[in-house]
Structure 1
Amino acid sequence: MLTLHLTPIFKARRIEKPYTFLVKAGLSPHSATSIINNKGRIFRLDHIELLCDALNCEPNDLLLWIPDSNKNYPENYPLKNLKQPESAEDWQDALSKMTYKELIEATKKGTNEEKQ
């Protein structure tokens, strides 16, 4: 089953009021509520584009695939790319545990990747 996976993105972007953020980004109040509550069955392409633009992410970042426990999927099943790790460490906690030198190196790596 495909579902929206916005909570980690909101947390990473330090968005404390997702509803307000989405409405200010251009979604209608009804659409913002549906998206936050993961109630929508139809996901418009212009909403995907708006979310990606506002959250600075890719469409794959917005989606989470939850496999059906009654099915066996081949190892190369394409939707497995949308399966999030089961225990992802909070990035802020990870950063707080890094030494200053590790932070500098990570910043350098990020800057070099952006230039390429």
Structure 2
Amino acid sequence: MFRKKRGNLTPRQSSIILDLHPILKARDIRFPTAFLIKAGINNRTVTNMMNGTAVQLNFRQLTNLCLSLNCTPNDLFTVRDMQLPENHALHALPVSGADDDLPTVAEWLAGKSVEEVKTILRGK
């Protein structure tokens, strides 16, 4: 029997994409490749994820990412150039590139006094 060849696996310009940059920046992860490999994702897949060319993600990888980054799947995906109806549920996902100006944890803490940080940590 002949197996049918897979079609083009290049992600379309308008699609849901895996965008790890905002969560990695928010978690102040300075060496994302090493972090993701340590989380159990192979080197080639990590390269594709970081370049924005990943076209598939299995549940093991998704689970490892969520556990390692302490996040939900919605924190890992963004929408790129999609025209959606006004009431569509995908509007809950961020738009690709919209959070590029988010500060890192270190940058955010640099502007806080010790007392402000203590108050925030205590939840008051």
TM bracket, shorter-chain basis? 0.7 to 0.9
Structure 1: 5+ residue runs without aligned partners?
A: none
Q: How far off its partner does 1:72 sit?
A: 5.2
2:68 to 47, 54, 57: 54
Percent identity of paired positions between Structure 1 and Structure 2: 28
Larger radius of gyration: 2
The structure-2 alpha-carbon separation of the partners of 1:32 and 1:89, relative to structure 1 and needing over 3 Å to count, comes to closer
Equivalent position SS for 2:78: strand
- Which structure 2 residues correspond to residues 3-82 of structure 1 after superposition, within 5 A? 3-68=17-82, 71=83, 73-74=85-86, 76-82=87-93
Answer 1 or 2: higher relative contact order, Cα 8 Å, separation at least 6: 2
Contact 1:65 1:83 in 2 (8 A): yes
Contact 1:4-1:38 within 8 A present in 2 as well? yes
Structure 1 stretch displaced more, 10-19 or 85-94: 85-94
Matched residues, number? 107
RMSD between superposed Cα atoms in Å: 2.3
Gaps of 5+ in 2: 1-14
Structure 1 SS opposite 2:17: strand
Question: After superposition, what is the alpha-carbon deviation per residue over 1:20-75, rounded to whole angstroms, capped at 9, x for unaligned?
Answer: 1111221111211111112121111111001111111111111111242xx3521x
